Structure 1
Amino acid sequence: MSHHGPPHYPQGGPPPPFGSHPPPPAYGYVPAAVAMPVYPPHLADYPHPSPQPQPTYITNHYYPNNNPPPEPVHVVENAMPPPPQYQPVQDYIDWIPSTPNTAAPLTHKAVVAGKEPGWDSSPLWVIRAHHGGDLVPGKLAIRDRRAYIPIAGQEIPVHNFEVLCAPAHIIRWLPASNGQVPVGAIPGGNTHSGETLYIGRVRYNRSTTPGKVHPSHGCLYISFGGIEVPHRSYEVLCRVVG
């Protein structure tokens, strides 16, 4: 709309500055209607919000178990491995209780002193047995399961005895005579009076037979053919010395 005539100023207001124009007319803002969605009347038909993830909580609780904590590992740079530990071999002489029927498992330990006469030349082991207060060295025919000791002029059969066991590299047979024994001679028993008896052997009647060296009698005795047979020259079982 066009406006003609002098400008209209508010009543009682100051006159406008020279050359100025009246302010433009004021405009008002009238909000327009906004379309809103209309949901179905039933609750089940309303849209459901998407499930939200549950927050993660961090606590300082510690639940111990029954296992101990691992040992700490210490790492050493350029460490040399420890030197190997060597255990010395125990070389020993032993007497093992046995009988003619239970001695066979000692085959690889028993000291073989000789052999019987005959076509089979079956081995004779060194044994010792108690009799009449004496502990007397004798022989075991392992194949025939017969054991004997020489005592009081007789060849006495025994059924409970001890088998001499020793590694082959620590023993040897040395010659002697007249009741004497070399250095390192191995004691094999004793008389009831306390005299030491040693282990000897001799070749006799196509056999090599072990028996006892009786120093005070000046000889070696073996059991053979049912009797005790003396010998002035013989070999003595000794431990390797030096």
Structure 2
Amino acid sequence: MDPKLDNRPYFGFPPPPMPDIYFAPVPVLPPYPHPGLDAPSADFVEVLDPPPIDWVPATPSTAYTLASRAFITGREGWDKSPLWTIRVHRDENLIPGKLAISHGTAYIPFNGKEVSVQEFEVLCAASDVLEWVSTSNDQIPEHALPAGNTHIGEPLYVGRVKHRGSLTPGKVHPSHGCCYISFGGSEIAYKRYEILCEVPQ
């Protein structure tokens, strides 16, 4: 009888050949890290809280979706509607400007003009992480929020001024010693202004 098929003990030498059967090891998977909970399904999506300060891409027609997150930086003089701060890439610069969300119009102060823009990033922030600080000329507070830069890498900041009944946000250009706003088709400079700063932790 073939020894491989014989169930009786075998005491001879050499031992009979063994069947050509290979048992692969079974991997041991680590347990799901939350005992008592089932593993997430394939369509599980983790919802994260937004960062305290963020710049979110938008257009005049989509920006309204950010109403709960956008940081209001000014008011229109004629109807008191809110103005938001935006920033835009233009000719290798990243330039802060304004969005009149109620009217769907956005502008940046650039090369002496008020330039209309259609694609931008909206400043979104919690109300308690930013504050306005009065300053003038090229005096930039330590915690000023960088919001853009010139084509040579100089940082630009968010500023605002009162102009013709409007509280208008714009850009602070330190080497020019002023805050520029866009208004009525022009870029207008102010030596005294408020600058947006992060609240020290």
SS where residue 128 of structure 2 aligns? helix
Q: Distance in 2 between matches of 1:170 and 1:92?
A: 7
Shift of 1:117: 1.5
Shift of 1:190: 0.3
Gaps of 5+ in 2: 1-48
Structure whose residues are more often strand by fraction = 2
After the TM superposition, which segments of 4 or more aligned residues of structure 1 sit over 3 Å from their partners? none
Alignment equivalent of 1:113, drawn from 70, 73, 78: 73
Q: Distance in 2 between matches of 1:155 and 1:199?
A: 16
Q: Rg: which structure is higher?
A: 1
Alignment equivalent of 2:59, drawn from 63, 76, 99: 99
Q: Distance in 2 between matches of 1:162 and 1:90?
A: 15
Cα pair 1:91 1:170 within 8 Å, conserved = no
Alignment equivalent of 2:98, drawn from 123, 129, 139: 139
Q: Distance in 1 between matches of 2:113 and 2:154?
A: 20
Q: Distance in 2 between matches of 1:163 and 1:131?
A: 16
Q: Count residues in correspondence.
A: 153
Shift of 1:132: 1.4
TM norm structure 1: 0.62
Give aligned-pair identity as a percent. Answer: 54
Gaps of 5+ in 1: 1-88
Shift of 1:91: 5.4
SS where residue 216 of structure 1 aligns? helix
Alignment equivalent of 2:142, drawn from 172, 183, 194: 183
* 1:28-107 → structure 2 map (5 Å cutoff): 92-107=52-67
Q: Distance in 2 between matches of 1:116 and 1:127?
A: 16
Could you tell me which amino acid in structure 2 is paired with residue 211 of structure 1? Answer: G
